[in-house]
Structure 1
Amino acid sequence: MAPSPFIIVAIDGGAASGKSSSSRTLSERFNLLHVDTGSFYRAVTAELLRRGAPATDLAAVKTVLADLKLGTRLNGRSAMMEIGGRVVPDAEIRSLDVNTWVATYSAIPEVRAALLDYQRGQANTARQHGFRGLVMEGRDIGSKIFPDADLRFFLFADPNERARRRQQQGFQDQVAKRDTIDSQRLNESLRGATVIDSTFLTLEQVVEQMAAAVAAKLGEAPAHR
């Protein structure tokens, strides 16, 4: 019997569109390494703020970026970014300061370039630890990080519904601000991706659409739950 293929699943979409919940569920169901690139950018944002490198001072930002020592630590099926051997605590990357600035820092080309190879390297991490594949969520995953991903999904939902979800989760993300930044990359991110409108869908309904495609790639019959 032929071995199961190693697959890469890219999930893009706007803030609070369902990327995190669906990617974590797929990770559990198919034994895929889960990578939340949003947490990577949050960790780097926290580090830039900690070192006093404002987003308006590109020279200071580049100095910090050049000094970052990035690693990966696994927490179950999830990849956590280490900076200088330290995983930035969730309370820190979800702080009000990080929520306020992460979209601005993430839009800086030098910041995105600094994380490009690190993000692509998560595929090797998944292989080395015996995962059947990688499910990576975040911006530009299917267009720039893994343009040849086996599966590419793009989730979206009505802005008011996404703002409601964020409030319900206890977060204070600036959905409208992030949408404005995202609009500059939308056409490229949508090209070739399977688009799912999650506005009126439950998490289970979103996941089932994705899971059927993942199962087919892995050569399995879809398991309905």
Structure 2
Amino acid sequence: MSKKDFIIIAVDGGAAAGKSSTSRALSSKFDLMHVDTGSFYRATTVKLLEAGVAPEAGPAMDAALAKLELGTYIDENSAYIVVNDWIPDESIRSEEVNANVSQYAAIPELRKFLFDYQRDQANIAREEGFAGLIMEGRDIGSVIFPDADLRLYLYADPAKRAARRAAEGLSDSIEKRDQMDSSRKTAPLSIPEGATLVDSSEMTLEEVVEHVSDLVSKAYLQ
């Protein structure tokens, strides 16, 4: 059994399920390029709000998206979206963005606009010499990389996730976000068929990383 030269890991789950913390830890441990696709939707939400474009499909949305030029900025093991030469800052975590991002993310045109960009992150990871790509979001294992070497779905009790958000000083309606993301018509939040479910409700971050690390090691040898 030979070891793969490059692997792709898809990490899905609801808000505050531990996707980012787990993915970042794994990226450092296995030299994977980490990509948080939630930040893509937050960054485009900022730009669409600035342009005064309502979260609905139509000519105004198409015209606004046509004006957005996307790039990628890499800092250590993480890749960040660049929109019209703007590298997103803390404004993507504002209450206004929290309140609107799921509505924008439900628009098929926006998801289509970001699809190829997300897929291309694997090529960037290869070009930059990483051992693989770990991408987190809500439709990575089901839509973006259904053929990923390892597909994970992180889950945690809604009350636990709300407490995590509060501890971070963030205002976020966990259950409302989940309901909106799960009920949208295009690429809804769901557990991809064949994905490995990881319930982190009663686990520490260290325990989650240790558990998933074993799965990553096995994925290298498949």
TM-score normalised to structure 2 length: 0.93
Structure 2 residue aligned with 1:9: 9
- Runs of 4+ in structure 1 off by over 6 angstroms are none
Tell me which residue corresponds to 1:118.
117
Distance of 1:119 and 1:183 partners within structure 2: 20
* Match for residue 210 of structure 2 among 186, 208, 211: 208
The 3 A distance-change label for structure 1 pair 207 and 3 is closer
- C-alpha RMSD of matched pairs (Å): 1.6
Q: 1:1-225 residue pairs with structure 2 within 5 A?
A: 4-56=4-56, 58-89=58-89, 91-184=90-183, 185-187=188-190, 189-219=191-221
CA distance in 2 between counterparts of 1:109 and 1:209 reads 35
- Tell me which amino acid in the other structure corresponds to 1:135: I
Partner in structure 2 of residue 222 of structure 1: none
SS at match of 2:151: strand
- Tell me, yes or no, if the aligned pair for 2:11 and 2:136 is still in contact at 8 Å: yes
* In structure 1, C-alpha distance between the alignment counterparts of 2:135 and 2:169, rounded to whole Å: 24
1:80-124, CA deviations, whole angstroms, 9 ceiling, x for partnerless residues?
A: 1111122121x2111111111011101111111110000000000
After the TM superposition, which of the residue ranges 10-19 and 79-88 deviates more from structure 2? 79-88
| TM-score, structure 1 normalization | 0.92
Alpha-carbon distance in structure 2 between the residues aligned to 1:190 and 1:88:
29
Q: CA offsets, 1:51-87, max 9 Å, x none? A: 1111146332221112210000101111111111221
Q: Is the 8 A contact 2:36 2:136 kept in 1?
A: yes
Q: Gapped runs of 5+ residues in structure 1?
A: 220-225
Aligned residue pair count: 217
SS state at 1:55 partner: coil
SS of the aligned residue for 1:8 comes to: strand
Q: Is the contact made by 1:26 and 1:32 (CA closer than 8 Å) also made in structure 2?
A: yes
**Counterpart secondary structure, 1:85:** coil
Conserved in 2, the CA contact under 8 Å of 1:4 and 1:132?
no
Contact 2:102 2:181 in 1 (8 A): no
Q: Is the 8 A contact 2:155 2:201 kept in 1?
A: yes
The alpha-carbon deviation at position 3 of structure 1 amounts to: 6.8
State the distance in 1 between where 2:58 and 2:200 align. Answer: 37
Counterpart CA distance in 2 for 1:88 and 1:182 is 22
* Counterparts of 1:60 and 1:170, CA distance in 2: 34
Post-superposition offset of 1:186: 4.7
For residue 73 of structure 2, give the secondary structure of its aligned residue in structure 1.
Answer: strand
Structure 2: distance between partners of 1:88 and 1:60:
23
SS in 1 for 2:72: strand
2:60 and 2:172 map into 1 onto residues whose CA distance is 25
